[in-house]
Structure 1
Amino acid sequence: MQRFSTEESARGYFEAMRWPNGPVCPHCGNCDRARVYAVAPNTEKKIRAGLYKCAECKGQFTVTMGTVMEDSHIPLNKWLIAFYIICASKTQVSALQLQRQLELGSYRTAWFLCHRIRFSLANATPEDQLDGVIEADETYVGGKKRGHGRAYVGNKTAVVSLVERDGRVRSTVVEMVNGQEIARLLKKQASLDANLNTDESRLYKKVGKEFASHDVVNHSREEYSRRDYMTGRIATTNTVEGFFGNSKRALDGTHHHISKAHAGLYFSELDYKYNTRKVSDGKRTALGIQQMTGKRLMLRRPKNNISE
């Protein structure tokens, strides 16, 4: 906060992160320093600081154009501090806490700011498939419904996660947990050369035959880890279940409740923190800022909502 106490210092940092070799026009892609120049700020002519102009396409732009920060009235130094607070937190940060710390005008502003940062942290390379030893499992996020048992999931959000052992995680919020949906996710996000580890659920039985191997642990018989002495493989789903446990504690302890419509954004943040768990807080923040280009998140109110 001391280093980036002004909007000018934060703007310089964002520009250095996005344009390490000089400004690039987002309209036409021109990067010629002689043809892209800064416009001097002028309050009388309503020319704001940080404005650039491209001599090729005559377009004007700032460092926020084409990012999650576009069309935001929040000062850039508060954006940068919010990025750091969210990325440095080992669990989650509530929008109310961020509103107090950054002295934002409303809860809605803080809530939308958090969601845009989470959207920036979402997986930047979805085509990059997981490989090696992969553990797959599904879980349900949501509280208990009065009058129903613990097994009732009608009011809960289903999440399927794939975890590389000692590697990355990728979570997906799904509408329906069935064999067809599980097979689609596995084939899309995991290499068929991988060694798949699951529990005894029949959802993975058919698609598991398409992978290099499919090791199963039977939780109903209290089997949680098994070593195959012929192949040397260890069959377990403890890694993905540990990820679910930490994620649920983070969500319950901070937010208490999340809506199904935005659950994917919350798990994008959890996935990102898990995947960058071995780097410093500053590096994690810098990597998240580098992923914000080319992403826009628009949360518009429904036109038929008369109450709003």
Structure 2
Amino acid sequence: MATETDSSSEEGVDWRSDASAEEMTRRERYGEFYRRMVREPAIIAWSDLRTRVGIIILSVYLLMAALDVFGLWRNPSPNQAPRLLPPFQNWAFPLGTTQSGVDLFALIVDSTPFILLMVLAGGVWATTLAVMVGTVSGYKGGSVDTAITSVSDFFMAIPGLPLVIVLAITFSPENPILLGVILTINYWAGLGRSIRSQVLSIREESYVEASRTMGSSTFRIIVKDVLPNIMPYVMVNFVFAARYTIFASVGLYFIGVLPYTGQNWGVTLNNAYNQGGLFTMQALHWLLVPIVAIVGLALGLILVSQGMDRIFNPRVRTRLSGESESIEGEDDTTAPPGGMV
């Protein structure tokens, strides 16, 4: 009986130790994921001045979107204040008012969620499709490359602006996600060809050849070996696609192609221009406020994209890991036993 009890207790201890080891392994795995995917990119991004400024600018737009989504700021409506009130004279209306007494800051806040959704949809659609087309075409080659390249050439041959105008008039999109996709309907083609040229050189590298020799699947090679090397280029072009979406939408709203539903920076520009914002000093701020909002969002996206190169650059990541390990090693060697000074 004693022997059975001892053996059962030992089995219990072994089971608990195995469970503890498995739990530690899972905890270490989560810690490694957090370090590589969250902590290191955040440190690298924040160490670059351009990225810090870009994050701050984009945070302002996200804050304005939150103010509108959660109803923390008043809705724009006529006769809220005196007409054509200049900016920074009445802090209840910090950016001034329009000809009909509408709060300009409320107009910008009310437009921000729509603009951000549209920009995100356009950038994600164009970049994702371009990455899929470019990586598969460049890596596979042969008949697959020929077929995909022919489709890309067809879409590149279609004039972008006339196509977008025809689609906008036909569908009159009021949903920001649909509008973002329409505005970048053939933007992906040129980007896909550029990514293909990048992949053509990467697929001949020794590490890609080693993965093929070991029998790795095409999907795994593209995800593990190809995509990390083109991510800086992809992120920069994502920002270019997002910026193109902003300017295209504002331009089409300004000339009246897109439907005047709700508020939009292009609609505000159109109203300001039609009511003398370009010719009278009293209404000049009405024209400048949406222009500053457009330029500010584009600038924030560009600054963040410039910092993406540091985040995805393996040399910077390796250097950061080496510095972290050296700092930890110095702390271990210099700290006295027991933590006493």
What is the TM-score of this pair, normalised by structure 1? 0.24
Is the helix fraction higher in 1 or 2? 2
**In terms of Rg, which structure is larger?**
2
